[in-house]
Structure 1
Amino acid sequence: MSISAETFFLDSHAQGTLQSQIQQMIAQGILSGRFARGEKLPSSRKLAQHLGVSRITVTLAYTELVASDYLSARGRSGYYVSDTAPEPPATPPQVPKSDAVDWSRAIGQRFTGGVTPDRPRDWSRYRYAFIYGQTDPALFDHANWRLCALKALGQKDFTALTTDYYDQDDPKLIEFILRHTLPRRGITARPDQVLLTLGAQNALWLAAQVLLTQRRIAAVESPCYPALRDILTQSRCHMAPVDVDAHGLPPDRIPQADVIFTTPSHQCPTATTMPLDRRHALLDRARELDALIVEDDYEFEMSFLSPPSPALKSLDGDGRVIYVGSFSKSLFPGLRLGYLVGSESFIREARALRASVLRHPPGHIQRTAAYFLSLGHYDALIRKMGRVLADRRRVMESAIREHGLDIAGSGAFGGSSFWMRAPDGVDTRALTTRLMDQSVLIEAGQHFFPIANPPTNFYRLAYSSIPVERIPEGIARIARAIADIQTNPPPSS
């Protein structure tokens, strides 16, 4: 690998001759680890031209560095970092310049301190990973996704690959969503009523930014999707948490609000499905309040126990429901591809906001997904996942009953997780830490509640990424850890 001449700069305030400054620059690059052994230095001509010095000055600097074994000369090939050059120190050198900015005053708005959980990056090394939303490599269709990605790289799709759509989207993917995805949810729409997003979370952020102000009120389920709580907190709107029950969000408990956020197909995180009569009641309540509804329809594809209920958007006769869909949960989370469906007026504003932030999702990702969907690979993957998840769910339910654990919520239509309740007095944050030492991963439930003092004894168990044969032992370890905490509670902080 060659070192570019553009990486070198002379300091106008540096002491010493030009030759010594060049020697020092190269030596510091080697000692700091920026220049590795065997890498080729720029030719003396190129470096001299770049630095604005004579070629002989650079040549003399190189010669001195060869003599001190920092560099080696290879005939007509040029100069290289010597194979016996001093190695960088084990600890990185201290940055000499201090940060003189008072960031506590300079930062005008803070976005840290949210409640979204921070999952271990090495989650797959845990033998019993009851972790939500991660891809099981045994289920994903690697071969066909690779073929679709290669197809999207072809000359035929050169325009889709390289074009700056500005504020538009790949017409092939939009066409598939309009003709295949939305009709399955009972929704009809036109191209100007659909906007692609970087996943459902990005869609929720766009909706919150367009619809909410500091004076408006957002009704939100409790418990809810943690990232939504962060989004609404950052929007500085007024949040009105509404406790869900066995059928999801109760319409008669919704206070005066401007926007209602709900997950009717699989309530997050309880996995409860809202019945049809309650969906009609929710629309009536929104009409009474003159409120809009943002429907997050995540995991509707995972209705493997029985067909999914109609989307709330499909029952909407007023145009007050904004629909959020995503391919990230059903394909893989790193895809970051979702969509918004709403009235032309709303989509126009959301499109303009998206264009000012990220323009559009990458064209190659859009076209690859369009091929994967339109060629039938997506439907085949969903059917395969449904069969496997149904088997895992059956085994997990049996293990949970055997060990006397308490299910607080589970989707009647399917899904990929159970919402669990530990006995009173068991803090699931402590439980989570204890289980990690036993190669078990669970999600503590506190961060799902958009309230100041959330209950501490809820947790979520997902079965999307754990092989079926590991489920019984994993549940047994959870049960033993809970019993141990009850017998030997940790000291109060």
Structure 2
Amino acid sequence: MKTDHLMHIQFTAERSLQEQIREHVIDSIQRGMFGTNALPSCRKMAAMLRVSRNTVVLVYERLVDEGYLYSQERSGYYPTNEARKNRDISVDAPDLADHPANIKPAQFWRKRVKTDLDCQRNVVKETNWQQYPYPFLFAQPEHSLFPLAHWRECGRLAQRSSVIKDWISDSVDCDDPMLVKQLQINVLSKRGITAKPEDILITVGTQNSLYLLADLLVENGTKVGLEDPGYPDARNIFSYHGAEIEPLDVDHQGVKVTQKMASCEYVYTTPSHQVPTNVTMSMDRRNELLESAERNDFIIIEDDFESEVNVLSQPSPALKSLDNNGRVIYVGSLSKSLSPGLRIGFIVADANLIREVRKLRRLMYRHPPSNNQRTCALFISLGHYDSYVRKLKNSYKDKWTLIRKMLEQHMPQCITDETLGGSSFWLRLPKGVKAEIFALKAREMGVLVEPGDVHFMHPERESYAYIRMGFSAIDIAMIPAGIEKLASILEPEHV
């Protein structure tokens, strides 16, 4: 017996037709649409979906191979008993709407958790930012630049039978040796850093690196010096672990080396591009900071943020490369230079510390996914990473130059210190203009910028408000109109 069902799929360009049809058919089977009856014929399904008959044939045959359908000669394709059995299980599951009305939300959890994370201040981004014409947001990639074909190539190479054995087994607490090697010779070497394999640990990004370090090194009352303004996630991570935060001022050369550091056990800094001002720490300041660390016996945690994208000069050597006393813990990431969604970061430090961090990481997630590590290692080894970074740098340089020109023309009063690049601008609003209100007005005009208050430990004490204007994701053609709209908000009738 056959039944007639109207099938419709709103196809998207991001996925193949076969993939979307297969997913829809499986969902229809599991919702009981066909029961024990035959599915529409290949010709009829193709007509309903307006695709070729061969496309439907390939989908049906694959579903037969996978056990969802069976073919009956001269009759059609039918759902298998196993596929229908899976559907029956889901039917018996309780419906949330049928829960008794007298069940109350549990009130005891708030007393059981260690702390209330709601009190932390974090950067908040619009989830639908891609729908805005002028997304001046930080840390969102320019999707058109990503070398997808090369990444797919590396993914295929990582699936070879001769390679898959390297990562499919349980690696316990070990990292992919190929990725560690590629970081040594093709990433860290460009920052002037020489490290042995035992000095390197792979993490799932900078935040994870900082969390591991805080969990291992910080306890209640540990004094940690943080740049102010600075990176909100670092402040939140160290505060969550009980650290006493010492705010450290920042000027046009980077974090100021003052007597405040003398009482710190750790100093966290972003010397390549200070978060959020983007200033690059001078060589004199780097040497001064290292001397202070040795003199006052504190450890430097160097977050080498956006070191690859200096557009006006060559990058300065990493603090780690200048460290002769083992006082610098280097935290790096491929998130900004490759992909934030990939979640590949790394820590470089004394082997004794790395050994302990590795033990802690094992308790949390053992190691980052080995297949991602190998794909990334191949991507670097084949030269795709360097090529992509050059492409990013050229794109950023063009955008940075245009934005700087437009700011000088339309918003000169908002320009702060001269920077060497990066992927954002740190702008000071006129006195009396609040960042949140400014950002809200901008959003109403289709322009997204980020209020800078979250980067300050005590924003209420600041005389001026700031905004962070990223440019990695916005189309360069949209930049002039976007800045003109921002400038119009600062006109007397809008302030």
Q: Same fold (TM over 0.5)?
A: yes
Between the aligned partners of 1:343 and 1:100, the Cα distance in structure 2 is 46
Aligned 8 A contact 2:167 2:176 in 1: no
The 5 A counterparts of 1:2-81 are 36-38=31-33
Label 1:420 to 1:165 Cα distance change in 2 as closer, same or farther (>3 A). Answer: same
Q: How far does the alpha carbon of each residue in 1:40-85 deviate from its partner, in whole angstroms, 9 at most, with x for none?
A: 59xxxxxxxxxxxxxxxxxxxxxxxxxxxxxxxx99976979xxxx
Is 2:411 aligned against 1:404? yes
1:242 is paired with a residue whose SS is strand
Aligned 8 A contact 2:29 2:84 in 1: no
- Give the corresponding residue for 1:471: 479
- Give the corresponding residue for 1:122: 128
Between the aligned partners of 2:361 and 2:116, the Cα distance in structure 1 is 21
Is 2:433 aligned against 1:419? no
Read off the aligned partner of 1:387 and give its amino acid letter: N
Aligned 8 A contact 2:305 2:332 in 1: yes
Give the deviation of 1:114 after TM superposition.
1.9
Aligned 8 A contact 1:410 1:417 in 2: no
Label 1:332 to 1:409 Cα distance change in 2 as closer, same or farther (>3 A). Answer: farther
Runs of 5+ consecutive residues of structure 2 not aligned to the other structure: 1-27, 37-76, 86-90
Q: Which among 187, 198, 209 is matched to residue 203 of structure 1?
A: 209
Give the deviation of 1:122 after TM superposition.
1.4
The 5 A counterparts of 1:29-428 are 36-38=31-33, 93=97, 95-96=99-100, 97-255=103-261, 256-405=263-412, 406-412=414-420, 414-428=421-435
Kindly tell me the number of residue pairs found equivalent between the two proteins: 414
TM-score normalised over the length of structure 2: 0.79
TM-score normalised over the length of structure 1: 0.80
Between the aligned partners of 1:451 and 1:307, the Cα distance in structure 2 is 34
Between the aligned partners of 2:429 and 2:250, the Cα distance in structure 1 is 18
Read off the aligned partner of 1:270 and give its amino acid letter: T
Between the aligned partners of 2:449 and 2:191, the Cα distance in structure 1 is 32
Deviates more, 1:100-109 or 1:336-345: 100-109
Between the aligned partners of 1:227 and 1:195, the Cα distance in structure 2 is 20
RMSD: 2.4
Percent identity, aligned pairs only, is 36
Between the aligned partners of 1:314 and 1:366, the Cα distance in structure 2 is 25
Between the aligned partners of 1:77 and 1:149, the Cα distance in structure 2 is 33
Read off the aligned partner of 1:381 and give its amino acid letter: Y
Deviates more, 1:400-409 or 1:179-188: 400-409
Give the deviation of 1:395 after TM superposition.
0.8
Between the aligned partners of 1:416 and 1:77, the Cα distance in structure 2 is 54
Is 2:442 aligned against 1:458? no
1:196 is paired with a residue whose SS is strand
Q: How far does the alpha carbon of each residue in 1:83-123 deviate from its partner, in whole angstroms, 9 at most, with x for none?
A: xxxx9xxx972633434451222223333332121211211
Between the aligned partners of 2:299 and 2:29, the Cα distance in structure 1 is 55
Runs of 5+ consecutive residues of structure 1 not aligned to the other structure: 1-32, 42-73, 82-86
Aligned 8 A contact 2:172 2:367 in 1: yes
Between the aligned partners of 1:336 and 1:454, the Cα distance in structure 2 is 35
1:418 is paired with a residue whose SS is strand
Aligned 8 A contact 2:219 2:243 in 1: yes
Aligned 8 A contact 2:35 2:79 in 1: no
Give the deviation of 1:453 after TM superposition.
2.8
Give the deviation of 1:171 after TM superposition.
0.2
Aligned 8 A contact 2:453 2:459 in 1: no
Label 1:257 to 1:488 Cα distance change in 2 as closer, same or farther (>3 A). Answer: same
Between the aligned partners of 2:265 and 2:79, the Cα distance in structure 1 is 74
Label 1:155 to 1:277 Cα distance change in 2 as closer, same or farther (>3 A). Answer: same
Deviates more, 1:114-123 or 1:452-461: 452-461
Give the deviation of 1:215 after TM superposition.
2.3
Read off the aligned partner of 1:297 and give its amino acid letter: D
